[in-house]
Amino acid sequence: MDSLLISGLKIHARHGVLAEEKTLGQTFVIDAVLKADLTKACASDQLEDTVNYAAVVETLQRAMVAYDDNLVERAAQRLAEAVLAEHPLVAEVSITLKKPHAPIPALFDFVAVSITRRRRP
């Protein structure tokens, strides 16, 4: 299985438990690893034979702002579900959803959740 990577996609959204997070929102960072068989695309050199990462970015952007989830776990699940629903060549997707500005009184780069979901047979 081959991989396509999207790294560091920044999206402003309103996920979090605190009222301020729902009101003001914050920037989240998404890394996505898409598993697909890219054999046909490698031979044809045609966009329609691969996973269009620009279209996947649009999917991630739309899914990230569609709901205001309390937990990044749920938001990551929604992202994975959207990718699998809208991109039939993707057999598996791994999402790392980073929250660099989590309201925690400590110095850190980010907190994150990583999930992997596979297409059901």
CB of 33 within 8 A of CB of 3? Answer: yes
Residue 20's closest CA among 107, 105, 97, 101?
A: 101
Structure letter (DSSP) for residue 46: -
C-beta separation of 61 from 10 below 8 A: no
Q: Which two tokens stand for residue 91?
A: 């057999």
Residues with active-site annotation: 99
Structure tokens at 105: 């009184």
